[in-house]
Structure 1
């Protein structure tokens, strides 16, 4: 079973995403900020990261930059934010995101790209 780490400081957002991902058959872990997420990543690998931008201690950009510096298998990361400007997207991709989605997301907007990034998309 593929493991996904949801990194978001808002409990309601984590619960919403967890519900969608578990219904789609993924195992889900949560972290409330980039620092906690890095600790989890270094203990055990994940297949994909769902990363919020604005969080205390270490934001999404900082988390991705740190993650990409680590000497571990690099898995896809989807940055998800309420910010929709081209500049926000550029910063996300520069930090190491594979995809940038704008909140709120509908279930199919989340599940389809995840399946694609994990190589599970139907032919």
Structure 2
């Protein structure tokens, strides 16, 4: 079972994504801010991260930078944002994000993306 880390300060988005992903048999861990996200990345070792851009404390860009600095195979990261600034998506791509969706998004769009990415990966545990 793939492990998904959902990082968002909005409880409604965390709940929606958790419900949808768990119905598809993903193991979901949630983090409410950037510091909790970094801790979860270390302890959970997620196979995929869904990351909000605007959060209190460490924003999504700081979390992405820390994830990209880790040794080993890079974890796929999907950034979600309501930010209307034109440079936000450019910065996300430049900082190494794999996927980017603007809010509002559909749960199906997120699920289709994750399913597509993870179905192409062969995990060591699956061998």
Q: 5+ residue gaps in structure 2?
A: 122-127
In structure 2, do the counterparts of structure 1 residues 13 and 21 end up closer, same or farther at CA, with 3 Å as the change threshold? same
- Correspondence for 1:97: 97
> What is the alpha-carbon distance in structure 1 between the residues aligned to residue 92 and residue 42 of structure 2?
21
Cα distance, 1:105 vs. partner? 1.6
> Paired residues, what number?
121
Structure 2-normalised TM-score?
A: 0.87
| Cα RMSD after superposing both structures | 1.7
Deviations 1:14-56 (A, max 9, x none): 0011111112221100001111111111123100000000001
- Correspondence for 1:106: 106
Q: 5+ residue gaps in structure 1?
A: none
> What is the alpha-carbon distance in structure 2 between the residues aligned to residue 18 and residue 52 of structure 1?
14
Structure 1-normalised TM-score?
A: 0.90
Deviations 1:44-96 (A, max 9, x none): 31000000000011000110001101224321000001125552111111222
On the 8 A contact 2:54/2:83 being kept in 1, the answer is no
In structure 2, do the counterparts of structure 1 residues 72 and 56 end up closer, same or farther at CA, with 3 Å as the change threshold? farther
- Correspondence for 2:56: 56
